[in-house]
A and B are shown apart, each in its own frame.
Chain A
Amino acid sequence: METKLLHIFRNTPLGRETLLQSIYFCNITRSSMVIYIPEYTKFLMYFDNDVVQVDLDPSYLLYPETSRTHALDLTKAHGIDASFFEPRQFTASTLPDIPVDFDFMCSPRSISDLSSKISLGHIGTRVRRIIKTAQFPVLLTSPCYKEWTSILVFFGGSVNSVKAVRLGLHISRLTGLPLDLFTQVEGSQTMDDYKDRLKQAGLEADFDKRVRDWKVFADNGFEENLYHVPHQALAVLGAYGHGLVKDILFGSKMEVIQSVLSNNLLIVGPRYSAKG
């Protein structure tokens, strides 16, 4: 089935790097790309049970006369036939509505803050809200264009991490790239417990066929073990996993990963309806 990725284009060098990441993602997953070049600093996304207003950093509106040409040049050069989204629905005259029926969305770590604030350990509030509400996973790109040659899924046994494994397998099927799993053993959990969860989710057969390596760490701290994440891997992980505060916080593991890893992150929120 054809998949679609939404990219909000920023006509700056940082925006070019982000667009290159999207292009690479679309090429390798054979997804089609929908580019939105904003004309206003805010837009609305109406999800199933929430409406998110995204207030963009003003740099998204820079140099509008060259935005489309720049985006077209890059996409054409990489063989992507991107379509440009023109808003038709407006909640208010300066407040367009962006559809949410995409399969992926690409975003830098923050879209509301100045680009100088974008750094490891900082994910903007709007991006967090989109991840929390969206039914699609969000591709958080590394600051510079970086190709990925394998997929690594963080699997801690939670419902969302099972969804992440499912997504990882789906992308591995689409791209033919090898898939690795990363598990930090916690408390009294054993490997059998983790395997059982995958079995219960019906992923056992696909897992045996596609997973190249299951990196299991029982020693050392989680942060220290993140050094073993391959440099050129797309990291797939779930957010808002556990406990009473799951609606407010990403989850401690997720916060550590986004503070330490500079890889491209494909984040699965709680409302993501898993594919594959």
Chain B
Amino acid sequence: MENELRQKAKELLESGQVKQVIGYEDGSTAFKSTPCFASSPEDADRLVWNPTCVNNLAVYLPSAVKQGKVAVAVKPCDGRSVVELIKEHQINRDDVVTMVVPCPGVLNPDALADIDPKTIKNIEWKGDGISVTTDSGEISIPREKAFLDKCLSCTLTDPAVTNIKLGDSPERSPLKDKDAAIAEYEKMSVDERRVFWAKEFTKCIRCYACRQACPACYCKECFVDKNGQVWALKSTDPEANWFFHMTRAMHLAGRCIGCGECERSCPMGIPLTLIGRTLEKDVEEMFGSGAGQDPDALPILGSFDLTKDPDPCPE
């Protein structure tokens, strides 16, 4: 698979079809890969595809396409971000070549909790789960422990914007219900939820990693970065934190594809995907459609049809 990816990337770069290929390459340690920006056929040899390729690379597209056409390696989940970016006019469909990689699931860092990180030499997919090569031998980790939660409930097929499909989609049936986490959350009363979030948001240090990692947060100037007389304060007061996260959640309603990059990048461990998923569930129930499916669909807010308003405002 990895060779196929490199081969394709090379072809695209050699023929000049794209200026750049965005993929993954080995990181500073064996349990992390890092984004790779290949602009020459030689660079393409650095590309890798293994369970540590977690990042949603769509986040780089709006700025990358400014230099010319880009090919990007996407997992089926990340492909939905590409759909959203096209829908929201941040990239032209013609400026991006999606290379959809077959994804059995990506690494949950908790799976390595019992292994001394310094001894890890390699991580690869094996059987249903992963195999970790260490100094002292090979350790197999089963699927339910090896992969991120979103992967265990994943039922996604190739995104609507697939250009190049690499390998065959792995056969997999979801192990978990994708709403298992929010089912627990929804059991809480409104007051309990308030207490829960008050505690979580107190942790926030306003590093904005969640925003930077998010492919849907592409504003040139975030509402929270505005100066002068503003709605949102920059301080880390619990109320100000709360205001930031709730406003961001509202800005993502109907647009969040649930890649989980916000939560993964949060240094304070705030369960941000819970907000995203809860909102998305509401959007799906109320509007009958989810984010990232159809590049030609109107955004939820823009699809309002006055004539179909079930509760029109009285004159």
A, B bound: no
